[in-house]
């Protein structure tokens, strides 16, 4: 079967192109000084392919993993840019997963009050989720994404060929975010996931559909004042698990667990079947008190009640406003 893999979206370009790295300069304006931010796991050939198309580029590599989404790494990159005389007409290009994207987007949004930012997401999670919508952030004080900004990239290039080097667990991690999108918004995408052969790595129709849905939602509610909250399905408890699990679980794995607390019996069974298919966790020993403490911090952000996304039936959702005590009961009941 053939799929149309080139898609142009309105506000800024999101291009989905197989072996697209070699065409980066057709999509991004690279005729200037470029800071490429990447991490040590990203194959050198991806970086070279992009760097070779710039007028001038400098590469800044971070250590892989969430710990690099820190104020210290942010400061180091800022120092590097100042020492290398980056100006407002230069640009930042992220080549990496969600960590590289969130961090370098935040760098771009604050350096000299904002310089152009382009994103080349290389993990499945970043391709279908974090690179779209303009949320940038670093973690601070043990709290995920507590410092950040909404800052739209000038362009996003999704080259599915780079998924060939992504470890299997990371592929599944990205699938968890696709399950989240499907469970709340699209029965069809959910069926695609159920029917997909588990062996294929570049699951093009699934990626296309997930990107489209994420883009529609993010564009309608750029600053998460309403509709976009649907993307938080699984995140209320998921984020708290992630903050308390000492790096044992990946972001998508935590979201996978988080979804199970806020689904009807019927929806939950279907989600569990998919989680099993994609080797994602369906249970995890959590420290309930710690989790509640972390969720209570969210309460400070939103007021007395916490809004959660609940899936009664696959492909749709409702928003519930719960007290911390109601969340306590849900956590104590277990997922
Ligand atoms: N901004 C948003 O809207 C948003 C949405 C969801 C998640 N996030 C954030 O995204 C982050 C998680 O992103 P992630 O799962 O991509 O993690 P990640 O950036 O740590 O990448 C996962 C791992 O895969 C490696 N990797 C990436 N691409 C590769 C490739 N093509 N070949 C080989 N190795 C590769 C990375 O080096 C890393 O070790 C979290 O910090 C989360 O908070 C942000």
pLDDT digits (tens, 9 = 90+) for 51-89: 999 999 999 999 999 999 999 999 999 999 999 999 999
- Extract the tokens encoding 200: 């294929």
**Domain definitions of the chain by residue range:** 13-163, 168-333
**Contact indicator for 25, 17 with CB cutoff of 8 Å:** no
Which of 18, 20, 21, 41, when mutated, tests ligand 1's pocket best, judged by the most ligand atoms within 8 Å of its CB?
41
Residue 135 Cβ < 6 Å to ligand 1: yes
Residue 131 Cβ < 6 Å to ligand 1: no
Q: What's residue 6's pLDDT?
A: 41
pLDDT: which is higher, 166 or 305: 166
Least confident of 5-14, 100-109, 207-216: 5-14
Residue 68 Cβ < 6 Å to ligand 1: no
Average pLDDT on 163-184 reads 96
Which of 104, 119, 123, when mutated, tests ligand 1's pocket best, judged by the most ligand atoms within 8 Å of its CB?
123
Torsion over CA: 162, 256, 215, 266 (sign): positive
Domain 13-163 listed as CATH 3.40.50.1970: yes
Residue 119 Cβ < 6 Å to ligand 1: no
Write down the CATH number for the domain with range 168-333: 1.20.1090.10
DSSP-assigned beta bridge partners for residue 61: 38
Cα distances (angstroms) measured from residue 242 to each of 200, 234, 255, 301: 28, 12, 9, 18
Q: What's residue 219's pLDDT?
A: 84
Q: What's residue 246's pLDDT?
A: 87
Average pLDDT on 279-295 reads 90
pLDDT: which is higher, 108 or 228: 108
pTM assigned to the model? 0.91
């Amino acid at each position: 079967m053939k799929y149309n893999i080139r898609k142009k979206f309105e506000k800024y370009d999101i291009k989905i192109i197989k072996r697209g790295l070699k065409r980066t300069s057709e999509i991004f304006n690279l005729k200037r000084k470029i800071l490429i931010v990447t991490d040590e796991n990203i194959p050198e050939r991806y970086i070279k392919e992009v760097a070779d198309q710039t007028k001038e580029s400098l590469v800044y590599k971070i250590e892989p993993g969430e710990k690099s989404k820190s104020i210290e790494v942010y400061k180091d990159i800022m120092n590097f840019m100042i020492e290398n005389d980056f100006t407002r007409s230069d640009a930042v290009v992220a080549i990496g997963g969600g960590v590289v994207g969130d961090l370098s987007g935040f760098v771009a949004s604050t350096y000299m009050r904002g310089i152009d930012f382009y994103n080349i997401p290389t993990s499945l999670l970043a391709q279908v989720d974090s690179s779209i919508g303009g949320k940038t952030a670093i973690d601070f004080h043990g709290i995920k994404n507590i410092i950040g900004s909404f800052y739209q990239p000038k362009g996003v290039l999704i080259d599915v060929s780079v998924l060939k080097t992504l470890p299997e667990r990371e592929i599944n991690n990205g699938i968890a975010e696709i399950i989240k999108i499907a469970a709340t918004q699209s029965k069809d995408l959910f069926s695609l996931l159920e029917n997909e052969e588990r062996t294929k790595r570049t699951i093009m129709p699934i990626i296309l559909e997930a990107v489209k849905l994420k883009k529609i939602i993010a564009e309608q509610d750029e600053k998460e004042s309403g509709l976009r909250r649907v993307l938080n399905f699984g995140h209320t408890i998921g984020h708290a698990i992630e903050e308390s699990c000492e790096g044992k679980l990946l972001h998508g794995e935590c979201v996978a667990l988080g979804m199970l607390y806020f689904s009807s019996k019927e929806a939950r069974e279907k989600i569990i079947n998919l989680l099993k298919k994609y080797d994602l966790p369906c249970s995890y020993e959590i420290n309930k008190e710690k989790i509640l403490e972390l969720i209570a911090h969210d309460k400070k952000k939103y007021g007395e009640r916490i809004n959660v996304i609940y899936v009664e039936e696959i492909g749709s959702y409702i928003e519930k406003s719960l007290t911390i005590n109601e969340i306590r009961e849900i956590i104590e009941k277990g997922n």
